[in-house]
Structure 1
Amino acid sequence: MDVGDLFKDAVGRVTEQVPGLVEGLDEDDLAWRPEPGANSIAWLLWHLTRVADEYSAVYAEVPPRWTGGGWYERFALPFGPEAHGYGFTAEQVGQVRASAENLAGYYADVEPVLVRFLAALTPEDLDRVVDKEWDPPVTLGVRMVSIVDDMVQHMAQAAYLRGMLDRR
């Protein structure tokens, strides 16, 4: 298995879960939080997709689907187009309301861009420094592992919340 196939397989595990996770849920269900400071399914899926979108767009040198694909307008969230969820307050998390159709559709639009980029990676690409602001500087390999890790963690959290919703 080459490096591109490895990353594609990891992302594919998230991709397989998105449609079923949101199936049958309305905006209130997707925005539900077990307590005011917790994340919602809507925020978790939106955030994991925004992060995957932004990074894959930057490294693949294509426009992000959030703005280039019209998702920013469709979601109509009360934040600027640069927002991705990092550093959000509990109040901002609560403002992320979206339909299952938009959450699944946005992810489905981003996933091919990310997968095409990941499929083209070589071992040499992984050693390229992409962020000199950190000590040590961040390589593309480290950044890609961070993105996949973020996606998997947030998908697991969203699945846990879905289980809680189903048992309410």
Structure 2
Amino acid sequence: MTSAADLLVDSFGRINEGTAMVVDGLSPSELSHRIAPGANTIGWLVWHLMRVQDNHVADAAGTAEVWSSAGWHKRFGLPFSERATGYGHSRDDVDTVHVQAELLVGYAQAVTDVTLRYVQELTGADLDRIVDDSWDPPVTLAVRLVSVIGDDLKHLGQAEYIRGLL
């Protein structure tokens, strides 16, 4: 029987594969291209979805974010707080994300490696643990991880759509 941990490993692995495919061969200009005024860019979307995954998984695991602990914040050199994940970013903020595909893929792989090490050991009892009691009902680890997967897949789909239009 497939375990919940196996499903999580597969899901996060697919997100990582998708991020690599969506940016493959794209120039920094293509990664920063807006298909309409105010639309998000592929580069921003991929950065954002991995930042949210990094942030949420680190919080749930009680570990440091890869973004900070492994120096990705400095490598990207973005003009945001080290804690920024893209949530609430304006059009102007999106305009400042100019990156190379290799950097996005490297960060995505680093986040995925940490995520997979964490989720592959989870049990059903672990998934029932409350990770955020500021909501009603309180958020369990299972709900948080499914939320991250859903958010990641939505943003990955948006990036794939933009790529198809390029």
Please indicate the TM-score interval, normalised by the length of the shorter structure.
over 0.9
Separation of aligned partners in 1, 2:17 and 2:105:
11
CA contact (8 A) 2:57 2:145 kept: no
Residue in 1 that maps onto 2:44: 43
CA contact (8 A) 2:41 2:94 kept: yes
Length-normalised TM-score, structure 2: 0.95
| Structure 1: segments with no counterpart, 5+ residues | none
| Structure 2: segments with no counterpart, 5+ residues | none
Aligned residues: 165
Cα RMSD after superposing both structures: 1.1
Residue in 2 that maps onto 1:25: 26
2:105 paired with 1:100: no
Separation of aligned partners in 2, 1:48 and 1:25:
18
* Percent identity (aligned): 45
Separation of aligned partners in 1, 2:89 and 2:126:
32
Q: Shift of residue 20 of structure 1?
A: 2.2
SS in structure 1 opposite 2:8? Answer: helix
Higher mean C-alpha displacement, 49-58 vs 76-85? 49-58
> 1:80-159 residue pairs with structure 2 within 5 A?
80-159=81-160
Separation of aligned partners in 1, 2:7 and 2:115:
13
Residue in 2 that maps onto 1:59: 60
Separation of aligned partners in 2, 1:93 and 1:41:
10
SS in structure 2 opposite 1:153? Answer: helix
Once superposed, which parts of structure 1, at least 4 consecutive aligned residues long, lie more than 6 Å away?
A: none
